[in-house]
Structure 1
Amino acid sequence: MSSLDVTAAGEEPKRTWPEVVGLPIKEAREIILKDKPDADIVVLPVGTPTTRDLRPDRVRIFVDTVASTPHVG
């Protein structure tokens, strides 16, 4: 474990947020940023191909619902 893996209080930083499942993206983003202010949050549709590189600042949110009726215009 490196010094980057420990918070000022001596605990490991949070790496998952199961409590945001089902919340609106804006609300989920706010909760994640409270725990990880430096997070680069990326919102993607479920099933989107992603790179396998590890970026400690990146948090991906995968969504799979349509929030409103799609329409032409």
Structure 2
Amino acid sequence: MMLLDKWRENEDRVRQAGAIALERAREAGVPAYYRDPSLGEGIVKEMPDGNRVLIGEAEEEKCIAAALARRG
């Protein structure tokens, strides 16, 4: 079976694992990094206080592409 098929079969478990990882990062007081296509291209950096920014790349350098609404 292909990898995407397996992912689709376990999509809820994958989401749960992501939520657990985000909570553990928050508890540890460190930022969490993840992708969320609904928020745009790039990587989301979420701080323990819930503030989030979308990090993109411009000319091979990291830059803040957008400030996002605070989670929760």
What's the TM-score once normalised by structure 2's chain length? Answer: 0.26
Q: Which has the higher helix share?
A: 2
Q: Which has the higher strand share?
A: 2
Structure ranking higher on relative contact order (CA contacts 8 Å, 6+ apart): 1
What's the TM-score once normalised by structure 1's chain length? Answer: 0.26
